[in-house]
Structure formats: C-alpha cells, structure tokens
C-alpha cells in the first residue's frame, strides 16, 4: 500500500483526534501540516501549523487535503484550489457539502480526483457508504433520523432533569457542538445532513435550503416533562420522503412513544432509518465527538490510499422538490393507545402521525395546536 501525506484544514476537536489516530494506527500516513486560525493556540498533538491555505494546497508533498475546519468560506475556495492542484479531498464539513457539494463533486470529476465526505453526516456512522453502495441497489423512499449529536445530548439530558443551557454548555465543552451552536439547536445542521442523504438516496438535485426546519430552542423543560407524562419522549428528527416523484424534507422535534428506537439514543448518539423496497434498515452509533468522527475521516483517507474507485453517481432522476411550510412537532399515532387530547377524534383514528404547531389555537388546552393539514392514507399528513 502506498504512503500518503495529508494536509489538514483545521486542528480543532476532529483535526486533533484525527492526527492522534493516524500517529497511533497508520504508519504509512503522515500529517504534514495543518491550517489554523490561531497559530499559537495550545494543541494536544504535535503538528506543524500554518495560517496560509496556499501552504497546504500548493505543497507538492501533500496527496490528500482533509477539511476539518467547518463553514462555507474559505472552505469552498480552499477545497476547489486543492482539487485543481490535483489533491484528493476528504471533508467532515456538511455545510460546505450541502451548499457547494455539487460544484465540488463536479470539479473533482473534472480533475479525476476523489472527494469523500463520510464524516459529514452522523459522525462515526458509515451511513454515506451504506446509502451510496449497499442500499443503492433498490430505490429508497424514506430516510429519517436523529442527525445531530448536540440536540440529542441536550434532549436526553433534559429528560434527566438537566437545564437546556447547562446541557448545551456541556455539549460545547465536549466538542460536539458547531462553532456557532445555533446551527445545531435551530435545526440547520440536521437539515444540511438530511439534504446530503436525500441527494444520495434519491439521486436527486435538492437545494441546500428548505423552509420546513424547526430546532429545539422552543422545547422547554416543562414540555419534556409533559411529554414524558404521556409515556413519550422527544427527539429532533430529519425526515426525507420520496413518493410519487415528489420529495419532501422536514426537520422538527418529534414525539415518540417509549420503545421507539430513537428514544433509546443517549448523549451524542445518532440513528438513521432507511426504508427501501426490501424493508427498513437502522444505523445507530456515535454521531458527534472528535474520535468517532476521526474514524470516518480516516476510513475515507484509507479508501483513497487503497485507490478504490468512487461509485457515487451523478443525479439523474428528475424529481420535484416540495417545500412545505415549517412544521414543528410530529406526533406518531398508535390507534391502540389513548392519545393526549391534542388531536380531534377523526384525526386520531386515521393518521399514522400528526405534525403539530406550537401556535396554540383557541380551544386547545394541551401542548400544541394543529395546523391545517390533509391526511395521507398511509403516510400521515400531506401538507397543503
Ligand atoms: P473546531 O474544534 O472548531 O475546529 C476548527 C478548526 O479549524 C480549528 O483548528 C480552527 O483553527 C480551524 N479554522 C476554522 N476556521 C478557520 C479559518 N477560516 N482559517 C483557518 N483555520 C480555521 O471544529 P470541529 O468540531 O473539529 O469540527 C470541524 C468540522 O468537522 C466541522 O465542519 C464540523 O461540522 C465537522 N464535524 C464535527 C464533529 C464533531 O463532533 N466536532 C462531528 C462531525 C463533523 P484554530 O484552532 O486556530 O481556531
Ligand atoms: N455539531 C454536530 C452535531 C457535529 O452535534 O451533530 C457532528 O456533525
């Protein structure tokens, strides 16, 4: 196997874990240097640092450029330059891939280089590999998952009685949260990951932004306790459906009855349920954290080292993208279980789940009021 020289963009939580993992386990991989913002910041690993991206992308010694710095800019420009300079690229940056992935992938194809991004979705879970390869054999019609470790950490800690801000600060201290944690708690990070999965799973052109995104900032400790009193729990869930040539994406806090696999997720764990013609698959594991994410980055580097061909196909199927009004809460309805009196009786009998709004209409004295929905026969609500 050939030796590989790596240049890192970023030497923070993931970058340092990756450098450590490489030193400990990969004698044929060498981290040559890392781009940082603060040259003098103390690091847990010994890596030469630079504040000039050109020192990475123009270094003839470097074979693979690894983006573990985050954000759209300058990541987009530096990754483009790296591909143009003939480097293969690995990134954990879902923001740059959601907004500029199609352009960067086209550039990679043009320069006959690989651009791999396993770590950008669900940290240590190999979900991109699964969707791109094994599960691509039959059509996928539904992808839903808990895709943000910070939000799962916060909600599972709130269930134990911790305060929202206390849990958020702990998630930041442990390195799970984004530099600007608004991306986590407002649902944007989940939305970006969902877009990446939906593009791959449905072979479709899907814009990075869609409006049906609600985060967890409105979920109070009182809400969590009230939901628990109904025998339920809440998780932030991204949901992508592809039905009748139409794609619908949404991100919303979702209430499940106890026993649902998503409610078993504790701390920064993530899970993704993929439904295809052959059935349902669930992938679960650490969704955030330096070392978990570094393993996904390293597996992409090893794939480049082994010169495995990239089998990702370009989008081919023309599908309509529907962008519904933002829903807030999805409530799975089990006809056998007596439901909180938040739903009118007719809906309780017919819907498989309901999407509820936080705006409490007159006459509703329970947690959430209903928006105007038409109810699908099998899939619950179709937004009007
Ligand atoms: P982080 O701890 O904030 O580290 C970011 C690193 O990038 C720092 O070393 C920083 O330099 C450097 N950097 C940022 N902007 C820069 C700029 N404009 N120019 C030069 N250097 C810059 O972030 P992280 O948690 O490691 O996350 C890195 C990426 O991985 C992000 O895209 C994130 O979404 C993704 N990711 C993270 C996790 C996780 O659990 N943390 C999991 C999956 C994916 P300084 O150190 O000098 O400030
Ligand atoms: N901030 C992200 C999260 C990191 O909490 O899931 C992993 O992508």
Q: Quick check: CB of 15 below 6 Å from ligand 1?
A: yes
> Which CATH number does the domain housing residue 337 bear?
3.30.360.10
29 and 111 housed in the same domain: yes
Cβ atoms of 88 and 115 closer than 8 Å: yes
Does some domain include residue 383?
no
105 and 20 housed in the same domain: yes
Q: How many distinct structural domains can be found in the chain?
A: 2
Query: Which residues approach ligand 2 with their CB closer than 6 A?
Result: 123, 148-150, 176-178, 184, 189, 287-288
248 and 369 housed in the same domain: yes
105 and 137 housed in the same domain: no
pLDDT of residue 245: 83
The enclosing H or E element of 232 equals: strand 232-243
222 and 202 housed in the same domain: yes
93 and 44 housed in the same domain: yes
Q: Quick check: CB of 184 below 6 Å from ligand 1?
A: no
pLDDT of residue 371: 31
| pLDDT level of residue 320 (50, 70, 90 thresholds) | low
8 and 79 housed in the same domain: yes
178 and 84 housed in the same domain: no
> Which CATH number does the domain housing residue 300 bear?
3.40.50.720
Task: Give the residue numbers spanning the domain of 225.
Answer: 128-286+327-375
In whole angstroms, give the CA distance from residue 155 to residue 171: 11
Last residue of a domain, one of 246, 273, 305: 305
For the cut 80, the answer to whether the pLDDT of residue 325 exceeds it is no
Least confident piece of the model among 32-36, 103-107, 305-309: 305-309
Alpha carbon of 60 to ligand 2 centroid (Å): 32
Residue with CA closest to ligand 2 atom 1: 177
User: What is the number of the ligand closest to the CA of 187?
Assistant: 2
Q: What is the pLDDT of residues 173-219, one digit of tens each?
A: 999 999 999 999 999 999 999 999 999 999 999 999 988 999 999 99
Cβ atoms of 185 and 231 closer than 8 Å: no
Pocket test for ligand 1, best of 37, 81, 196, 268 (most atoms within 8 A of CB): 37
Does some domain include residue 241?
yes
Q: What is the pLDDT of residues 257-303, one digit of tens each?
A: 999 999 999 999 999 999 999 999 999 999 999 999 999 999 999 99
Q: What is the pTM of this model?
A: 0.86
Does some domain include residue 321?
no
Does some domain include residue 380?
no
185 and 148 housed in the same domain: yes
Residue 316 corresponds to which tokens in the numbers above?
């081919």
Q: Which residue has the tokens 């004698």?
A: 27
pLDDT of residue 350: 40
Asked about 33 being catalytic, the answer comes back as: no
Q: What is the pLDDT of residues 115-149, one digit of tens each?
A: 999 999 999 999 999 999 999 889 999 999 999 99
21 and 154 housed in the same domain: no
Backbone angles phi, psi at 38, to 5 degrees: -115, 100
38 and 102 housed in the same domain: yes
331 and 216 housed in the same domain: yes
Of the residues 44, 87, 193, 362, only one is catalytic, namely 193
């Amino acid at each position: 196997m050939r030796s590989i020289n790596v240049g890192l963009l970023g030497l923070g939580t993931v970058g340092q874990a990756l450098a450590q993992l490489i030193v400990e386990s990969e004698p044929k991989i060498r981290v040559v240097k890392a781009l940082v913002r603060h040259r003098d910041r103390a690091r847990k690993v010994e890596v030469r640092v630079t504040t000039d991206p050109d020192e990475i992308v123009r270094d003839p010694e470097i074979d693979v450029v690894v983006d573990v710095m985050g954000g759209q800019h300058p990541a987009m420009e530096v990754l483009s330059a790296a591909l143009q300079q003939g480097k293969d690229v690995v990134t954990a940056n879902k923001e740059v891939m959601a907004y500029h992935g199609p352009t960067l992938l086209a550039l990679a194809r043009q320069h006959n280089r690989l651009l791999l991004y396993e770590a950008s979705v669900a940290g240590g879970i190999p979900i991109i590999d699964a969707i791109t390869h094994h599960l691509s054999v039959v059509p996928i019609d539904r992808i839903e998952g808990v895709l943000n470790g910070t939000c799962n950490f916060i909600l599972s800690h709130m269930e134990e009685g911790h305060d929202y801000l206390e849990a958020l600060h702990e998630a930041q201290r442990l390195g799970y949260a984004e530099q600007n944690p608004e991306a986590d708690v407002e649902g944007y990070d989940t939305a970006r990951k969902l877009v990446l999965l939906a593009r791959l799973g449905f072979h479709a052109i899907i814009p990075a932004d869609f409006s049906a995104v609600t985060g967890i900032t409105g979920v109070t400790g009182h809400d969590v306790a009230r939901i628990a009193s109904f025998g339920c729990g809440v998780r932030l869930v991204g949901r992508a459906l592809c039905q009748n040539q139409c794609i619908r994406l949404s991100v919303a806090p979702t209430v499940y009855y106890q026993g649902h696999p998503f409610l078993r997720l504790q701390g920064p764990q993530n899970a993704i349920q993929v439904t295809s013609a052959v059935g349902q698959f669930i992938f679960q594991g650490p969704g955030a954290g330096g070392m978990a994410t570094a393993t996904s980055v390293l597996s992409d580097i090893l794939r480049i080292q082994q010169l495995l061909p990239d089998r990702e196909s370009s989008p081919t199927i023309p599908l309509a993208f529907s962008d519904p009004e933002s829903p807030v809460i999805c409530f799975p309805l089990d006809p056998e279980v007596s439901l909180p009196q938040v739903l009118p009786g007719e809906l309780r009998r017919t819907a498989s789940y309901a999407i509820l709004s936080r705006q409490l209409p007159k006459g509703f004295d329970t947690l959430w009021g209903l928006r105007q929905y038409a109810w699908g026969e099998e899939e619950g609500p179709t937004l009007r």
